[in-house]
């Protein structure tokens, strides 16, 4: 997440606070504070809508798309907390009566509050199937608009034409426009046409190669794109890392759900594709430091792209490729050959069915690199990322030199991990008492 984006959001709320300040002296202070909190929620929710558009420039301001989505999620949660607080602290100003639509504004405010609350709870419940989640998530903007109506027509300490009113309404307009943009049909979004050259299988994954129809996408190794096909059942865009960049694009896809299941069975050479992007900031930034690359299963995709794009820099690179079984290792031959071609690259294949799982200590021992001096790049399952990240930090790796890409755009708020931690503590205590 880019600190610049975060500062921008905080500044937009602080500026609103400054605009509200003069009204605290002339009115019931707690009511004005409550109104400010409600308006601040509209401002932060406008940011969440803007981030969801995936428009060019969003990643520059807020960081790679995976991080932008984390910010989007937490901003949504913070906004919800603010709305609840606004509802708890009485916001009614004595002697101030809103315009004609005041009563309707009040009703819509309540509707917005409870509907958004339900939708936010649904959003963070990761067990809800993606398709259901996606449709309920789309309703958010509608209740956001209800919240904006509430702000515009409820009795306030100032008029809509005053700076605080204009500022909040301007942000709200941006939020509503951004929401409308996310509702636009996929076909109307900017995308480049491609044609499927081949669909193959490698190490249990589906490997799709696309030829450009017209001007090709200019992507950097490590970036990803949203891809959809005109093939029946494959028209919904899904994000995949480009596992080989160039005029042709290659995607390596693990079967994880309905869409990826259908893709493997229905996609044929000659089918047409639409590619949106490129997105992502998982880019290699060579320096004098030795590099450790860790891939967990399908997490090999950005590293496969990096290896094909590797130039002559002599940085020492150790690639740890962790798989469950050797026949479940996509692009193993390609990666092995690349390591043979580049004297500075060493491949460590970790097959968990044959050897213990990778640990930070083993990374340090097998590579011969002190993590305190290294730069580490990780792509793979989140529990593996967290375990290795923790272990490497214990060995001296500064957190800012641990780079990773999230393959999950939709993440919870860590309740499952919290529950696991609580249960683990309880078990540890029970066994301590027993011994």
Ligand X SMILES: Cc1cc2nc3c(=O)[nH]c(=O)nc-3n(C[C@H](O)[C@H](O)[C@H](O)COP(=O)(O)OP(=O)(O)OC[C@H]3O[C@@H](n4cnc5c(N)ncnc54)[C@H](O)[C@@H]3O)c2cc1C
Residues engaged in binding ligand X (CB under 6 A): 66, 130, 224, 236-241, 252-254, 256-260, 280, 298, 301, 407-410
- Provide the minimum distance between the beta carbon of 79 and ligand X in the complex, in angstroms, as a whole number: 22
Going 155 to 157 to 162 to 163, the CA torsion angle's sign is negative
Q: How far is the CB of 306 from ligand X (least distance, A)?
A: 13
Of 171 and 282, CB closest to ligand X: 282
The three-class DSSP label of residue 360 is helix
Phi, psi of 427 (to 5 degrees): -65, -40
**Residue with Cβ nearer ligand X (151 or 240):** 240
Q: Select 300 or 397, whichever has its Cβ closest to ligand X.
A: 300
Min dist. Cβ of residue 261 to ligand X (A): 6
Pick between residue 105 and residue 319 the one whose CB is nearest to ligand X: 319
Q: How far is the CB of 409 from ligand X (least distance, A)?
A: 4
Nearer residue to ligand X within complex by CB, 47 or 224: 224
Which of helix, strand or coil describes residue 377? strand
Q: How far is the CB of 371 from ligand X (least distance, A)?
A: 25
Q: Is-contact 277 249, C-beta < 8 A? A: no
CB of 61 or CB of 409, closer to ligand X: 409
Q: Based on CB atoms, which residue is closest to ligand X, 28 or 271?
A: 271
Name the residue number minimizing CB distance to ligand X. Answer: 257
In the complex, the smallest distance separating the C-beta of residue 243 from ligand X, rounded to whole angstroms, is: 6
Q: Any idea what the Cα angle at residue 427 is, between residues 426 and 428, rounded to 5°?
A: 90
| Residue count of the chain | 435
Q: How far is the CB of 70 from ligand X (least distance, A)?
A: 11
Query: Residue 287, Cβ neighbours under 10 Å: how many?
Result: 10
Closest to ligand X by CB, 240 or 404: 240
Say which DSSP state 247 is in: S
Tokens linked to 128: 């809800």
Beta strands, E only, 233-356 = 238-244, 249-253, 272-279, 291-296, 317-323, 345-351
Cα separation, 353 vs 163, whole angstroms: 65
CB of 206 to ligand X, least distance (A): 8
Angle at which helix 360-367 crosses helix 382-394, to 10 degrees, equals 70
**Packing angle of the helix pair 301-308, 332-341 (nearest 10 deg):** 40
Tell the smallest beta-carbon distance from residue 239 to ligand X (Å). 4
Two tokens at 117? Answer: 């609350």
Residue with smaller CB distance to ligand X, 203 or 237? 237
Judged by beta carbon, residue 165 or residue 297, the one nearer ligand X is 297
- Expressed in percent and rounded to 5, the helix, strand and coil fractions of the chain are 50, 15, 30
* Cβ at position 260, least distance to ligand X in Å: 3
* Residue owning tokens 């398709």: 131
Apex 81 CA angle, 13 and 152, nearest 5: 60
Helix 65-88 and helix 3-26: axis angle, to 10°?
20
What Rg do the C-alpha atoms of the chain give, in angstroms? 25
Residues 164-192, buried b or exposed e (16+ Cβ, 10 A)? Answer: bbebbbebbeebbebbebbeeeeeebebb
Structure tokens at 353: 């069915």
Closer by beta carbon to ligand X, 131 or else 429: 131
Q: In angstroms, what is the minimal distance from the CB of 221 to ligand X?
A: 13
Neighbour tally for 349: CB within 10 Å: 17
């Amino acid at each position: 997440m880019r600190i610049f984006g975060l500062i921008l959001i905080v500044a937009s709320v602080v500026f609103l606070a400054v605009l509200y300040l003069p009204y605290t002296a002339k009115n019931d202070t707690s009511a004005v504070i409550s109104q400010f909190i409600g308006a601040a929620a509209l401002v932060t929710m406008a940011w969440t809508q803007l981030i969801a558009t995936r428009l060019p420039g969003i990643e520059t301001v807020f960081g790679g798309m995976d991080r932008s989505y984390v910010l989007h999620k937490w901003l949504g949660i913070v906004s919800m907390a603010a709305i609840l607080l606004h509802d708890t602290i009485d916001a009614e100003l004595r002697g101030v009566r809103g315009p004609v639509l005041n009563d309707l504004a009040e009703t819509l405010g309540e509707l917005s509050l409870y509907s958004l609350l339900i939708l936010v709870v649904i959003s963070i419940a990761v067990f809800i199937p993606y398709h259901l989640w996606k449709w309920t998530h789309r309703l958010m903007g509608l209740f956001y608009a209800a919240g904006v109506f509430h702000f515009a027509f409820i009795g306030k300490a100032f008029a809509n034409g005053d700076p605080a009113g204009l500022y909040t309404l301007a942000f709200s307009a941006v939020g509503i426009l951004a929401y409308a943009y996310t509702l636009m049909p996929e076909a109307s979004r900017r995308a480049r046409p491609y044609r499927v050259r081949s669909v193959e299988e490698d190490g249990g994954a589906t490997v799709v190669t696309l030829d450009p129809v017209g001007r090709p996408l200019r992507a950097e190794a490590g970036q990803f794109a949203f891809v959809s096909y005109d093939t029946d059942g494959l028209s919904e865009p899904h994000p995949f890392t480009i596992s080989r960049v160039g005029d042709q694009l290659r995607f390596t896809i693990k079967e994880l759900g309905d869409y990826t299941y259908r893709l493997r069975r229905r996609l044929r050479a000659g089918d047409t594709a639409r590619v949106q992007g490129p997105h992502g900031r998982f880019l290699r930034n060579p320096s004098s430091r030795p590099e450790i690359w860790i891939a967990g299963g399908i997490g090999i995709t950005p590293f496969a792209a990096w290896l094909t794009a590797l130039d002559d820099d002599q940085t020492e690179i150790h690639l740890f490729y962790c798989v469950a079984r050797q026949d479940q290792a996509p692009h193993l031959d390609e990666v092995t050959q690349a390591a043979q071609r580049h004297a500075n690259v060493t491949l460590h294949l970790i097959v968990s069915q044959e050897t213990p799982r990778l640990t930070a200590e083993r990374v340090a021992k097998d590579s011969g690199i002190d993590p305190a001096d290294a730069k580490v790049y990780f792509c793979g399952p989140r529990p593996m990322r967290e375990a290795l990240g923790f272990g490497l930090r214990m060995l001296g790796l500064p957190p800012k030199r641990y780079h990773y890409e999230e393959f999950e755009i939709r993440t919870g708020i860590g309740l499952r991990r919290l529950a696991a931690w609580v249960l683990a503590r309880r078990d540890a205590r029970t066994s301590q008492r027993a011994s």
